[in-house]
Amino acid sequence: MRVRTVQVEELSVLQEIERAAGRWFHEVGMPEIAEDEPLSVEELTQYVESRLAWVAVDDADRPLAYLIAERVDDALHVEQVSVHPDAARQGVGRALLEHAAQVAAAEGLPALTLTTFAEVPWNAPYYERCGFRPVPADRLGPELREVRAREVAHGLDRWPRLAMRRTL
């Protein structure tokens, strides 16, 4: 498996990966999340243009998973990481997180951050195994507080959510 930069012509594939990965949320009683549409091609293009979008690909160079990020406060913030169910539990998501950590370190950023569902097994518990730790709400930087506010406005706080940080 290899991690590389996303190509614009692959953005519809990323949307399909997210749709497929989202179906897992049906199993934990979160159908609204399972059916939530992925970011638009236009929105995803912004991450590609910022050089903050990566895919994990198979031997035929087909995307299996992707990660998009943005700079938030003093960290590289993982906005989305999605792994196609056919590639789940094979270290693909972790490889993308490690790639993001390398990019952040090369830019002199001290951490990765993300927001996630606290009680979904492949969310917060998984990220803890990857070295992320919960960040108390009163310790969030101003930009990460803004990310959380957008999530609340989108209705994501119907289920427990938290911000997490991995020091590099």
Report the pLDDT value the prediction gives residue 153, as an integer from 0 to 100: 93
Report the pLDDT value the prediction gives residue 131, as an integer from 0 to 100: 97
Residue with tokens 């990481």: 81
Please write the tens of the pLDDT for every residue from 121-134: 999 999 999 999 99
Q: What is the average per-residue pLDDT within 77-94?
A: 96
Please write the tens of the pLDDT for every residue from 62-80: 999 999 999 999 999 999 9
Report the pLDDT value the prediction gives residue 69, as an integer from 0 to 100: 98
How large is the angle between the packed helices 41-49 and 11-22, nearest 10 degrees? Answer: 120
Model confidence band, residue 1 (pLDDT cutoffs 50, 70, 90): confident
| Domain range enclosing 102 | 2-167
Model confidence band, residue 142 (pLDDT cutoffs 50, 70, 90): very high
Mean pLDDT of the chain: 96
Cβ–Cβ < 8 Å for 54, 129: no
139 in helix, strand or coil? helix
Contacts 24+ apart (CB under 8 A), 77-83: 77/112, 77/113, 77/114, 77/144, 77/147, 78/112, 78/113, 78/114, 79/47, 79/114, 80/18, 80/39, 81/114, 82/14, 82/17, 82/18, 82/21, 82/22, 82/38, 83/17, 83/21, 83/56
The two tokens of residue 61 are 């160079």
Q: What is the average per-residue pLDDT within 138-161?
A: 94
E strand or H helix that includes residue 63: strand 63-72
CA distance 41 to 95: 24
- Please count the structural domains in the chain: 1
Residue with tokens 């995307």: 63
Here the CATH number for the domain that contains residue 142 is 3.40.630.30
